[in-house]
Chain A
Amino acid sequence: MIPVEFDYVKVTTIDQAIAALKSGGEDSKIISGGQSLLPVLRLRMADPSVLVDCGGIDEMLGVREDGDSITIGAATTHHAVMSSPLVQQHALLLAQATATVADPAIRHRGTSGGALAHADPAGDVPAAALALNASFTIAGPGGRRTVAAKDFFLDYFTTAVGPDEILVSFSIPKCDWGSHYAKFNRTAQAWAIVGVAAVVNVEGGVIKEARIGLTNMAPTAVRASTVEAALVGASSAADITAAAMHAADGTRATSDLHAKADYREHLARVITARAVRAASGI
């Protein structure tokens, strides 16, 4: 269908973006790759009066090394993220999760920051960002602030980014642990029914530490903290399977056409065990 008429502003700096958001008022909306926003507009499920296009802000593009972490501009496309040598070397889990997003056409337009700020509970990138302890740089009228991953995702499609703010970039502490993103879906291009993002530190065949993010098990991506604690000291497939039995603990899985909540919870347990085994090599 055709969206309701809207104004379009293309900006080249963060300050311009913030000014445009301010002058557009509550009905203004940031557009980057547009892969989530445009379908919503075309279905007339939203009717913003102004779209502020931040795809041309240099500061929001590309991946750079920042001492012990790497920083990814929010408007960097999924394709650029997953094929970045820096990401592959220091945040492989992000590349693995990003590679499962939709299809190549969408990954060439859609952006990593867009996916994070959109915060679809079924999106793949948020769980990876959580497991990698990402931090988010948000700019607004009052300046810039940094928000930790655990404080970033607030609710369904809701993040710490305020209506007058913009996500500039996110940073990931370099991580050389074993990693794996297991996405369970019905067709290659479908959203995850359940996804599990795992990074695991293994020393001498024993798991020292693990961080696990779950996709689509709650209104936001969540950490499987009970599993993480139970995995410490695990050294066998049986240990991992036992720890993964806690994968649904504390989650709030929903029921939809593809999966009822109890099946999602079951899948979380099965898929978590598989993801951790793949990540740890155990």
Chain B
Amino acid sequence: MTAALDTDTALGKPIRRKEDAHLLHGQTNWTDNIQLPGTVHMAILRSPMAHAKITKLDVSGALKQTGVVAAYGAKELGELNGGVPCVWPVTDDIKMPAFPALAIDKVRQVGDCVAVVLATSVAAAVDALDAIEVSYEALPAVTDMEAALASGSALVHDEIETNACYVYKMPCGDYEASRAKADVVVARRFINQRLIPIFMEPRSVVAAPMGMSDEITIWSSTQIPHVLRVLLALVTGIPENNLRVVAPDVGGGFGGKLQCYREEILVTNLAKKLGRPVKWTETRSENMVATHHGRDQIQDIEIAATKDGKILGLKVTLLANMGAYLQIITPGIPLLGMFMYPAIYKMDSYDFTCTGVFTNKTPTDAYRGAGRPEATYAIERIIDELAAEIGMEPMELRKKNWITHDEFPYTTVAGLTYDTGNYEAATEKALAMFDYDGLRAEQARRRASGDPVQLGIGISTFTEMCGLAPSRTLGALKYVAGGWEHCTVRALPTGKIEVVTGTSPHGQGHETAWSQIASSILGVPVEDIEVIHSDTGRSPYGMDTYGSRSLAVGGQAIKAASERLVEKARVIAAHQLECSATDLEFVNGSFHVKGDPSKSQALGAVAFEAFTAHNLPPGVEPTLQAEATIDPADFSYPHGTHLAALEVDTETGQVKLRKYVCVDDVGIQVNPMIVEGQVHGGVAQGIAQALFEGAEYDEDGNLLTASLADYLIPSAADLPSFDTATTVTPSTTHPLGTKGVGEAGTIASTPAIINGIVDALRHLGVTDVAMPASPQTVWRTIQAAKAGAK
């Protein structure tokens, strides 16, 4: 294939995002903006209890309220009370309890849906909730994972007789042998705390029967319109060919909108039952308890090494909090991290065990990075602890153990084959930007003078696996769906191009980047290319957007379809120009006869010929379009080196981030400006886990951080300006040479921050600090270390 990647094309240019004008001008089409005649609005009565029997539920009072059209509990809803699906049964003996949209007899989390009211206005629906009679009999709440697994614990689901959802093991090599050989074994327990995906646009869904046909159209603020269509068909029994799912403008997701939510099931079923549009938009308060959460793992990690710093083996034992129910890929999230604990390091053995645990909390599921931030956090933290234990500079320990650039492709102890990488280059660049030696000198001065403000340097040399994923690999992991992506490219009669993609952007800039890819191959200006997406009626095939897959997988499909279109056009052009197809070269959007500059035909002219079909070569069908459905050959493995310099005020415990340098290698970049934006947002979100965010529950299972006054997300005012740069080591398994970038920053930055805090305080006896490292937590950690030292 001769894609025009080596000529001056739109590919690789930091052009401004096409989609931003309508965002900035307030012309967005959020789901909640959709107003259809006859709409009824749904309001939800949610459980205020984490675990309770529903002893009484009477919705009849609500029916008497002004404007109320219908009200349902589970009993009234009957067969329409569909179950929320889980598509990743990770083991043969996994326990998969039922998850009805409306709770039946029992509630198992604060925020469980108990009843719904449908009314002609949102206000009427919300008011009528007060008229529902409901009473509960409290049951003991299961909130602690270790207690949940102890015998005699209360059960989240009585019928499965255990709170253990599954146990997954992956032994690689002989860890016990490595341990026996080791001079040093360092073990730590890290708590990877529960996070709440705070996307700007709350969830919202509208479903409407479409008049004369049997079609029901569902507009949802989702990342996965295509997958959602399949799942809603399976759950509701509505024929798939009668369902159309549209994701209009979607204001962020971070994995939180990679879901088939109970509210989506309820709205769809009730629109069909009532024969009129039904709409529901969550409040931020609902969002905090009812959108799935992320992380929440207890990580026991043990590393075995020689005294001169050669890593021999790694053992990881996880407890992963499933929450009260399994949602779309709840059980699989820790497995996405499973492969990444060995990270960039060579070792002989690796032993992984994960136990999924039910608790009376909001279900967990994908959140930016999904499993890989947890893994990266644990390995990058334990590397620093090992360095401290053997008295080695932490970067030197990394260099001693990482895969060198001449060793790629490299099959890790976990069985993945990393195609390419250059950890030396990224690290060298980052160190130069950071002034590593200068900051170490300042650190030494502050320590010597007993400065109340201590300086810490945090390192994270991360890699990750993304671009989900080869379908066969997903199948081997018992994931129910595939990992391919689809694209159709059409050259319209006027020469304009439509790129129909199966990815589903929700802020990333796909319309611009995909146009750049197509432009680089078709030679058509970016502004003449329209990217069609996120509507199963207009872009029927796709696997949507998550796991940094859209470019890494979807981009391949765009490239392949564009190239196929050129090849079809070449045959038509050759016929028109009365030459052999092999005599044509395609440059800047036109076919030229080699050696005869006077004879050429532009792609748009070919498209018009294909449209009129007056003079096509024999056997060539009218219209100029091509499609491609590509299953990726492998994951992609972005990597990078992130360095943080931070000041810890030992008198108050407050951490001030002073400098953040990151050099990411995401392979070939389609649009460096968008890459930089993804890195910035990702880094901020990872720092947020380290310093600010954490979902806290009380022992009764009440979410204490139930509003944005208590669940703290940082703003620009709380973060320094990041110094970002890249190295470019093209992926060899992805035809464009690209890797994913959506999650990289989030995966990388969390351990850099915590390593930095521990580095600042290690001379005081501090060896770990819990996340989020709030001032109080840091201050108490210092106090405890001082007390221990006495």
Contacts and interface: CB of A to CB of B under 8 A. Distances in A.
Interface footprint category on A? 20 to 34
Interface string A247-282: 000000000011110010011001100000000000
Interface-centre pick from B651, B696, B713 (highest chain A CB count, 10 A)? B651
B652 A189 contact: no
Interface in B699-716: 704-705, 709-710, 712-715
B718 A2 contact: no
A190 B122 contact: no
B99 interface: no
Given A4-B127, A188-B717, A189-B715, A263 B709 contact: no
B479 interface: no
Contact of A187 (B123, B127, B718): B718
A187 B692 contact: yes
B717 A186 contact: no
B191 interface: no
A73 to B, nearest CB: 28
B285 A270 contact: no
Given A43-B285, A263-B780, A187 B714 contact: yes
Contacts of B714: 187
Contacts of A189: 715, 717
Contacts of A258: 710, 774, 776
A257 B651 contact: no
Contacts of A266: 779
A8 interface: no
B705 A257 contact: yes
Interface string B760-790: 0000000000000011100110000000000
A43 B774 CA distance: 27
Nearest to B704: A257
A191 B709 contact: yes
A258 B705 CA distance: 10
A85 B652 CA distance: 34
B712 A186 contact: yes
B776 A263 contact: yes
Interface residues of B, number: 26
B772 to A, nearest CB: 9
B283 interface: yes
Interface string B256-296: 00000000000000000000000000010100000000000
Given A2-B122, A43-B285, A190 B712 contact: yes
Given A263-B776, A267-B652, A187 B712 contact: yes
A5 interface: yes
A5 B123 contact: yes
Contacts of A270: 651-652
Contacts of B775: 184, 186, 193
Nearest to A266: B779
Interface string B709-733: 1101111011000000000000000
Interface-centre pick from B123, B285, B652, B654 (highest chain A CB count, 10 A)? B652
Contacts of A1: 126, 283, 285
A200 to B, nearest CB: 21
Nearest to B121: A2
A186 B123 contact: no
Nearest to A259: B776
B774 A188 contact: no
Given A2-B122, A2-B126, A258-B776, A186 B705 contact: no
A135 B114 CA distance: 51
13 contacts: A2-B123, A5-B127, A184-B654, A186-B712, A187-B714, A187-B718, A189-B715, A191-B709, A257-B705, A258-B774, A263-B780, A266-B779, A267-B652
Which are the 5 A-B pairs with shortest beta-carbon distances?
A: A188-B717, A1-B283, A263-B776, A2-B123, A270-B651
Given A1-B285, A189-B717, A263-B776, 15 more contacts: A2-B122, A5-B123, A184-B775, A186-B775, A187-B692, A187-B712, A187-B718, A188-B718, A193-B775, A258-B710, A260-B776, A263-B779, A263-B780, A266-B779, A267-B652
